[in-house]
Amino acid sequence: MAPLKLYGMPLSPNVVRVATVLNEKGLDFEIIPVDLTTGAHKQPDFLALNPFGQIPALVDGDEVLYESRAINRYIATKYASSGAALLPATPSAKLEVWLEVESHHFYPNASPLVFQLVFRPLFGGSPDPVVVDKHAHELAKVLDVYEAHLAQNKYLAGDQFTLADANHASYLLYLTKTPKAGLVNDRPHVKAWWEDIAARPAFQKTAAALPLPPPPSA
Amino acid sequence: MAPMKLYGATVSWNVTRCVVALEEAGAEYQIVPIDFATAEHKSPDHLARNPFGQVPAFQDGDLHLWESRAICKYVARKHKPDLLREGNLKESAMMEVCLEVEANQYTAALNPILYQCLVSPMFGGTTDQKVVEENLEKLKKVLEVYEARLAKHKYLAGDFLSLADLNHVSVTLCLLATPHASVFDAYPHVKAWWDGLMARPSVQKVAALMKPSA
């Protein structure tokens, strides 16, 4: 089977969201670079894949998809019998809730935080403290809800690792590399959940593949 | 069997997103109002239904859910699975993309417009025209993509009505109540798609529910 093609910048957390699931499924894939700094995402070639001009996009044979969460659901469904089962055999309403919670509560705060604290410096800028404070404050409230939930549930949808947990991994990885790592690490159940995800062999493969610059020497 | 319960007020387009799904699915349900004026949404009872203290929340027997789109999906799966096309990988994959696009592209641009034009004035605030203009431009870019798609297909995910189309209804009904409804006029296929949705009895019923009382 030809490797799946994942279009985007390898460091982009939404691209890594998909790489996470591809690796959980043990699938062969290649990342086809789409250089945002040269506006490649707004060129006709890429718009033919994603008319909204955003990364990632996925090509699997004839199938062309975009929106990382839709891509992940497709992979989890089509390759249900490969690798880790990310969707239960009987659809779970609780899983759907936590997929939405990631998208509408976690991501809107984690994304600007990671952009300010990880990506702005990578491109020679510095974090905007007002934006950082606002989203750190909001994410703290969100993660309080997660803390209470994870005190009663090993994973977001219950006893099993599912797509809901996998969809958080890329932003959790980046967040825990910033000065705001305490948002995760100061909450014992959130911390334990993150450490469990980070220890998964498939996720270690995903993290190891990230072309992150080495940390500044002490 | 007890009817499903949807908690929230019909002024909220997140609540009425679920009403559209419930009506299309022909489910038996009741709307239980939650009074924001008395901070009922932050009461322990309501936080037990939705730990983020928001509406909607939903109950079907022992099952308690929140997040409007998760509720819509549950209702569709239970009562009208054809809206999800889960047996067909290609169709359901496209539908899932369109569900994400509704949330992340369409409603993401509409929310600030609706907030400025409808919500802020309700609380004695002003309408920030700059925010409205910026988001109208974003919305137009989304509508351009929709126009191209709907020129080829009757509905967003293909030639079949899906939950993706229905999830657009509540926010679009609210757009009609702002001075910016005419933004659709430049996109004839989008307009036709919307007119088709408006003609559905479920949508008519929700439109009537959302009208402020005289």
**Interchain pair A66, B65: CB under 8 A:** no
**Banded model confidence at residue B195, pLDDT cuts 50, 70, 90:** very high
**Interchain pair A77, B73: CB under 8 A:** no
> Would you state the pLDDT for residue B214?
37
Nearest Cβ partner of B70 from A67, A74, A100? A100
> Smallest CA–CA separation between A138 and chain B, in Å?
11
CA distance A16 to A170: 6
> Smallest CA–CA separation between A202 and chain B, in Å?
24
Answer whether B66 touches A (CB < 8 Å). yes
Q: How distant, in Å, are the alpha carbons of A117, A123, A167, B111, B147 from that of A212? A: 14, 12, 20, 35, 40
Q: With 70 as the cut, is the pLDDT of residue B52 above it?
A: yes
Question: What does the pLDDT look like over B22-38, one tens digit per residue?
Answer: 999 999 999 999 999 99
> Would you state the pLDDT for residue A218?
53
Q: With 60 as the cut, is the pLDDT of residue B213 above it?
A: no
> Smallest CA–CA separation between A93 and chain B, in Å?
6
> Would you state the pLDDT for residue B123?
87
Tokens of A15: 């691209």
Q: With 90 as the cut, is the pLDDT of residue B1 above it?
A: no
Residue in chain A lying closest to B89 (CA): A78
Q: With 60 as the cut, is the pLDDT of residue A77 above it?
A: yes
Calculate mean pLDDT across residues B157-161.
Answer: 97
Question: Cβ distance B143 to B184 under 8 Å?
Answer: yes
Q: With 70 as the cut, is the pLDDT of residue A216 above it?
A: no
Answer whether A156 touches B (CB < 8 Å). no
Interface of A with B in 168-197 (CB under 8 A): none
Q: Are strands A4-7 and A57-60 parallel, antiparallel or unpaired?
A: antiparallel
> Would you state the pLDDT for residue A2?
85
Question: What does the pLDDT look like over B61-97, one tens digit per residue?
Answer: 999 999 999 999 999 999 999 999 999 999 999 999 9
Set of chain B residues whose Cβ sits within 8 Å of the Cβ of A42: none
Q: With 90 as the cut, is the pLDDT of residue A214 above it?
A: no
- Residue to mutate among B49, B52, B111, with most A CBs inside 10 A, is B52
Question: What does the pLDDT look like over A201-211, one tens digit per residue?
Answer: 999 999 999 99
Set of chain A residues whose Cβ sits within 8 Å of the Cβ of B90: 63
> Would you state the pLDDT for residue B211?
75
CA distance B148 to B9: 35
Set of chain B residues whose Cβ sits within 8 Å of the Cβ of A92: none
| Strand order across the A57-60 sheet | A29-32, A4-7, A57-60, A63-66
Set of chain A residues whose Cβ sits within 8 Å of the Cβ of B57: none
Answer whether A132 touches B (CB < 8 Å). no
Question: What does the pLDDT look like over B162-188, one tens digit per residue?
Answer: 999 999 999 999 999 999 999 999 999
Calculate mean pLDDT across residues B117-142.
Answer: 95
**Distant-in-sequence, close-in-space partners of A18: CB < 8 Å, separation ≥ 6:** A6, A8, A56, A58, A68, A71, A72, A75
Tell me the three state secondary structure of residue A179.
Answer: coil
**Banded model confidence at residue B144, pLDDT cuts 50, 70, 90:** very high
Q: How distant, in Å, are the alpha carbons of B117, B148, B150, B158 from that of B153? A: 32, 9, 5, 5
Tell me the three state secondary structure of residue A121.
Answer: helix
**Banded model confidence at residue A189, pLDDT cuts 50, 70, 90:** very high
**Interchain pair A74, B67: CB under 8 A:** no
State the alpha helices, DSSP H only, in chain B.
13-24, 44-49, 68-79, 89-101, 107-114, 120-122, 129-152, 163-166, 169-176, 188-198, 201-210
Tokens of B73: 């999906």
Percent of chain B with pLDDT over 90: 94
**Banded model confidence at residue B60, pLDDT cuts 50, 70, 90:** very high
Paired with B29 in beta bridges are B4
**Interchain pair A73, B96: CB under 8 A:** yes
Tokens of B122: 């309700």
Average pLDDT, chain A: 96
Of residues B214 and A86, which shows the higher confidence score?
A86
**Banded model confidence at residue A172, pLDDT cuts 50, 70, 90:** very high
Calculate mean pLDDT across residues B124-139.
Answer: 96
Residue in chain B lying closest to A63 (CA): B90
CA distance B105 to B186: 19
- Residue to mutate among A4, A46, A104, with most B CBs inside 10 A, is A104
Calculate mean pLDDT across residues A53-67.
Answer: 97
**Interchain pair B65, A91: CB under 8 A:** no
Q: With 90 as the cut, is the pLDDT of residue A1 above it?
A: no
Q: How distant, in Å, are the alpha carbons of A14, A55, B12, B148, B190 from that of A69? A: 9, 12, 25, 23, 25
